[in-house]
Amino acid sequence: MKTAAFFDIDGTLIRGFIIQSFPRYLADHGLIDQVYSRRINNLIEEYRRATVSYRHAFEESAKIYAEAIKSLQASVIQEAAREYGDYHLNHSIFHYTKDLIEIARRRFDLLIAISGSPEEPLHELHHLGFYNEYGSVFEAQEGIFTGKIVRNMILGEVKAMRVQELAIELDVDLNHSASFGNSDQDIPVMDLTRLQIVINPIPEMKRICDKRSWKYYETDSLKLKDIENTLKRL
C-alpha cells in the first residue's frame, strides 16, 4: 500500500482564500457581475469579525460562486484560472510552502491537495508537486455551468468522504499517512490519518488543538526541521 500526505491549501500553504480572490479576479475581468464578488467579500469579512462561523461563511461563498458562474462556459473559467494562477495565486504561496512540500515528498508516496477551493484554480498549484488537487466541483452540462454544486469540499465531512474514496482508489494506507490543515473543517480528514500537522490555525482550530493536545505552528514560528523529525517518526 502507498502512503500519502493530504494538504489543505487556503491558510495552510497560501495566504488568503481562493474562493474570495478568484471571484474577485473574474469580476475585475468582466466575467461575472461584481455583485457576486462583493457578496463573498462581505461574508468573509463577517467571518473575520467573528459574527459568522468559518463553515457558514465559506459554505455560503461556494453557493454564491456557483450562482456567479452559471451559464458560463467551463473552458472560460479554466482559461481564467490559468491566468489567475500566474497573476495572483503563485504570489500567495507562503515562504515555507515549497520546502515543506519537499520534506513531505521525501517521506510519502503521494502528495494530495484536498481543499474547499474550486478545482479549476486549485489545479494551478500542481507545479508544487501534488499527485492531484481535489476541490469543490461545480456542475457543468455540455460544457456550461448550471449553477449547481456537485461537491462542496469546504465541508469537513465531504472532504473526509473524498479522502476515504481516494484511499480506496489509490491504495493508500491512511494509518501511515499524514494530514495538514488549519481549520475545524479539516478535522474529519485529520481524524482519518495517523499524523496531524496544524499550521496557521483559525481560532476555533486553536481551541480544538488545545483540547486534543495537538501541537500547531504559526507562519512566523514554523520550524521545518521539527516537522521533518515528526514525519520521520510516523
Q: Where do the structural domains in the chain lie, given as residue ranges? A: 4-232
Angle between helices 54-69 and 18-28 (to 10 degrees): 30
The percentage of residues in the chain with a pLDDT greater than 90, rounded to a whole number, is 94
User: Cα torsion at 201, 178, 111, 11 (round to 10°)?
Assistant: 0
Decide if pLDDT at 20 tops 90. Answer: yes
Tell which wins on pLDDT, 135 or 88: 135
CATH fold of 4-232: Rossmann fold (3.40.50)
What is the model's pLDDT at position 147?
98
24's grid cell: 474577485
> What global pTM score does this model have?
0.96
Q: In this structure, how many other beta carbons lie within 10 angstroms of the beta carbon of residue 69?
A: 25
What integer is the mean pLDDT of 178-204? Answer: 97
**Alpha-carbon gap, residue 229 to 220, rounded angstroms:** 19
What is the model's pLDDT at position 165?
98
Q: Are 89 and 121 in contact (CB under 8 A)?
A: yes
> Which element (helix H / strand E) includes 141?
strand 132-141
117 DSSP assignment: E
Confidence category of residue 103, pLDDT binned at 50, 70, 90: very high
Confidence category of residue 220, pLDDT binned at 50, 70, 90: confident
* Nearest CA-CA partner of 154 in 27, 66, 26: 66
